[in-house]
Amino acid sequence: MRMDFDTLALQWHGPHVLQVTLDRPESANAINTQMGRELESLWAALTEDPGEVRCIVLTGAGDRVFCAGGDLKERDGMSPAQWQRQHELFERMYWLLTDLPLPVIAAVNGHAYGGGFETLLSCDFAYAAEHARLALTEVTLGIMPGAGGTQNLPRAAGERRAKEILLTGRPISAQDALRWGIVNAVHPGPQLLPRALETAAAIASNAPLSVRQIKKSVRYGTQMELRTAFRFEVEAYNRLVDTEDRREGVRAFNEKRAPAFTGR
């Protein structure tokens, strides 16, 4: 897996946790075309072959902004065709993030506006710094969310809350985001990344195949009627029965030791 990017910084934490940092602090970590290409490349590589990666923490550079969304300075003066070509790139990137087999925790270190808010909504769950503010401001710019905001936000916060956020474009606090189910926890800024990495390490210590099957079952099962979803869950469960990790987990339990999972 490639580790050198112009707009991203990658860092290992232990053998199985990868921190991915949106690294354009001079531009509020806004997503320009280059960052879109690099995120698309990274998510595609991790989908094809995650190697030793078992969990990802996604954050932004600095302590003020997680991600300001699409880079409006780069977009200024774009023709409709250029805008749409760029957005098609962003669409592919967001779908790859959403469908990534590995769990992704957003560590929202500061403000998340527009596509930055949609990025955290595309992750499996999120922790936020207590000073962070979140907004989908597209309606104030003559556009609308186009990377899952109108779909993921109602699923997290409910339709009525989502409509208020989407139609006003007004920011909400991290505390409101917590109350409304958009983020899982709020931490003081200096504690945010350590807490997210701690959770990522706990996930990474579990059986990798189990983690991936659970993520898949939740993601697709919630889009089905209940009986079909139950059947989907059982199919996902049955794929784990004849694995080395299942046998290792049971042995470790009976031998009263920590299991050594290999992802096989």
What is the arithmetic mean of pLDDT over 204-221?
Answer: 96
Give residue 132's pLDDT: 98
Strand partners, 135: 113
Same domain, 177 and 212: no
Vertex 110 angle, CA 154 and 9, to 5°: 105
Same domain, 221 and 242: yes
Same domain, 98 and 220: no
pLDDT tens profile 65-88: 999 999 999 999 899 999 999 999
Residue of 91, 138, 233, 248 marked catalytic: 138
Q: Please answer whether residues 235 and 228 qualify as being in contact, where contact means their C-beta atoms are separated by less than 8 angstroms.
A: no
What is the arithmetic mean of pLDDT over 113-135?
Answer: 98
Same domain, 36 and 101: yes
Residue 252 has pLDDT above 80, yes or no: yes
Same domain, 116 and 225: no
Same domain, 114 and 49: yes
What percentage of the chain carries pLDDT values higher than 70?
Answer: 100
Classify residue 263: in a domain, yes or no: no
Here the tokens at position 8 are: 């991203």
Q: At 166, which CATH number?
A: 3.90.226.10
Residue 223 has pLDDT above 80, yes or no: yes
Classify residue 16: in a domain, yes or no: yes
Q: At 214, which CATH number?
A: 1.10.12.10
Same domain, 74 and 195: yes
Name, in order, each residue with C-beta under 8 angstroms of 66's C-beta and a sequence gap of 6 or more. 22, 29, 59, 60, 106, 108, 109, 110, 111, 112, 116, 119, 120, 132
Residue 109 has pLDDT above 80, yes or no: yes
Same domain, 213 and 98: no
Last residue of a domain, one of 184, 204, 224: 204
Tally of helices (H runs) and strands (E runs) in the chain: 11, 10
What is the arithmetic mean of pLDDT over 133-159?
Answer: 96
Residue 119 has pLDDT above 90, yes or no: yes
Q: Is 138 marked active-site?
A: yes
Same domain, 129 and 241: no
Same domain, 92 and 42: yes
Classify residue 264: in a domain, yes or no: no
Exposed e or buried b per residue across 116-152, where buried means at least 16 C-beta atoms within 10 angstroms of its C-beta = bbbbbbbbbbbbbbebbbbbbbbeeeeeebbbbbbeb
By residue range, what is the domain housing residue 224?
208-254
Residue 2 has pLDDT above 90, yes or no: no
Burial of 183 (0-12, 13-18, 19+ CB in 10 A): buried
Give the C-alpha separation, 48 to 224, whole Å.
26
Same domain, 164 and 231: no
Classify residue 73: in a domain, yes or no: yes
Classify residue 261: in a domain, yes or no: no
Residue of 118, 164, 244, 255 marked catalytic: 118
Please state the pTM of the whole predicted model: 0.94
Same domain, 212 and 168: no
Last residue of a domain, one of 204, 227, 243: 204
The three-class DSSP label of residue 243 is coil
Question: How would you classify the pairing of strands 65-67 and 17-22?
Answer: unpaired
Exposed e or buried b per residue across 220-229, where buried means at least 16 C-beta atoms within 10 angstroms of its C-beta = ebeeeeeeeb
The total of structural domains in the chain comes to: 2
Q: Is 48 marked active-site?
A: no
Give residue 209's pLDDT: 96
